[in-house]
Amino acid sequence: MAKLYINPKVKKGKINKEIYGHFSEHLGRCIYEGIYVGENSEIPNVNGMRKDVVAALKELNIPVLRWPGGCFADEYHWKDGIGPKENRKKMVNTHWGGLVEDNSFGTHEFMELCEQIGCEPYINANLGSGTVQEMSEWVEYMTFDGISPMAGLRAENGRKEPWKVKYLGVGNESWGCGGNMTPEHYANEYRRYQTYCRNYGDNKLYKIACGANADDYNWTDVVMKIAGRHMDGLSVHYYTLPTGDWSKKGSSTEFDEQVWYQTLKKTLYMETLITNHDTVMSKYDPEKRVGLLVDEWGTWFDVEPGTNPGFLYQQSTMRDALVAGINLNIFNKHCDRVKMANIAQLVNVLQAAILTEGDKLILTPTYHVFNMYKHHQEAQLVDSSLEAELIGLEDNNKVPNLHESVSMGEDNKLHITINNLSVSEAYEVESILAETKVRTVKATLLSAGFNSYNTFEKPDAVEPVEFKDYKITDKGISFKIPACSVLHLEAEVE
Ligand code: AHR
């Protein structure tokens, strides 16, 4: 019997809702087809946004959406995406499949999308190939309320009122696709660009510097040292690749148990990355004023056979569900430093929550995990620990059998999310709550074969169900968690 110790009296900080953020890039069929079909489409839409997708996203309580990239961000010139659509410049999306980008989805459309979903926009601006003036004017265009060239242009384009924009990214992957810079060079560029991104009226920007590629701790060190006091957040990107090798990513659906454990082991590495980046940041910012923002994370597999390699379209199985559950537990547990995370990407790209085909839509296992975990948003992290055992097929790829995080929600309920990483074993778990009595429990389970997934023919092959295999005891809750599953327990306590 595994023991799960929970002390609801020990609160460890607020879990920012932005940890449950998403990312949408002009890449493959994410924006076009996946989200935006245009006003004249036969697919039901409101001002061009797919009704079915927006409804599914509202259900998730998405707090924040990052746009327009990604690598695309440092090639994007925002003025190409405003004004009458017929006059908008067409360009080639060189990064992603050589597609013609007609700029029909631009600033106004993105803001409209955020308004429809009810989330905060996170604008990632162009430092790699854009000018300081361009970035500065974008901020003015979006947020200045008064008489100015950019506010005037915005009004000419049909929007008199400014928008509220809090999150501003200054460059993306500036160590790679965003300009191949050294950390010293980037940090100085960051200081210059961000200077001219002004706070207009009561619109206060939360400025985000480009952070490290995975375990590049030197990048974090240098950027914090040179530019730390000019930023509110520093990003980090880490993708889960089964072998860690970009040339051997493997299929998203055809994999064996060995690859299952390898993948989970790789995803658990997020814990090490966050701990180490936090330590480096604390050299310069021991009060943890600057947030660590994991603004790209998730699985990256081979594209689905027969699809454009530049579109990064992959399926999402129970393996992705576990990757999501584990990462979200890790972010929750590091909420003192991790202030935002954005899974890549929202629709039809990488570890997508939603897949579309024409007018059809499916919700992936990843979507269901976000839906089950949404109760952690703005909740207080609660002290918890598990007596886990190590499982797996190879000595160098052992993983804990169980993985959890616990919070006390704004609804005053205890939310326990626990993952069973075993492909074959169910486990009895006894949760022991210090000085707390459990009154009622409601639970939801996502469980299926380890490579199960939803298809357009069978969209409900993997779906959450009500879970009843638990008992309220004197000490807490006992339950048996099935193999390969994600479980959410919601407890009323006294
Ligand atoms: O999410 C796909 C790509 O991965 C992004 O454009 C880039 O920032 C990262 O390398």
In 329-388, where do the E strands start and end?
Answer: 338-344, 354-357, 360-363, 380-386
Structure tokens belonging to residue 424: 């074959």
For residue 356, pLDDT beyond 90: yes
Residue with tokens 């928008």: 163
Distance 430 CA to ligand 1 centre (A): 41
Contact 224, 283 (CB under 8 A): yes
Encode pLDDT of 215-237 as tens digits: 999 999 999 999 999 999 999 99
* Atom 2 (ligand 1) nearest CA: 70
For residue 490, which phi and psi values (nearest 5 degrees)? -115, 120
For residue 99, pLDDT beyond 90: no
Encode pLDDT of 139-180 as tens digits: 999 999 999 999 999 999 999 999 999 999 999 999 999 999
Contact 339, 13 (CB under 8 A): no
Predicted confidence band of residue 411 (pLDDT cuts 50, 70, 90):
confident
Distance 98 CA to ligand 1 centre (A): 15
User: By C-alpha distance, which of 465, 449, 447, 466 is closest to 325?
Assistant: 447
- Model pLDDT, residue 77: 97
What's the mean per-residue pLDDT of the chain?
Answer: 97
- Model pLDDT, residue 135: 98
Contact 190, 151 (CB under 8 A): no
Encode pLDDT of 291-341 as tens digits: 999 999 999 999 999 999 999 999 999 999 999 999 999 999 999 999 999
Alpha helices in 363-426 (DSSP H): 365-373
Dihedral of CA atoms 294, 296, 299, 300 in degrees, nearest 10, equals -150
Encode pLDDT of 169-205 as tens digits: 999 999 999 999 999 999 999 999 999 999 999 999 9
In 15-155, where do the E strands start and end?
Answer: 21-23, 45-46, 49-50, 64-67, 91-93, 99-101, 120-125
Rounded Cα distance between 164 and 371, Å, is 26
Ligand 1 pocket, residues with Cβ under 6 angstroms: 25, 69-71, 172-173, 296, 344-345, 350
Distance 318 CA to ligand 1 centre (A): 23
Q: How does DSSP classify residue 161?
A: S
The per-type count for the chain, helices as H runs and strands as E runs, is 9, 26
Predicted confidence band of residue 69 (pLDDT cuts 50, 70, 90):
very high
* Atom 9 (ligand 1) nearest CA: 70
* Atom 5 (ligand 1) nearest CA: 70
**Which string of DSSP letters, residue by residue, matches 168-227?**
EEE-SSTTTTTT---HHHHHHHHHHHHHTS---TT---EEEEEEEETT-HHHHHHHHHHH
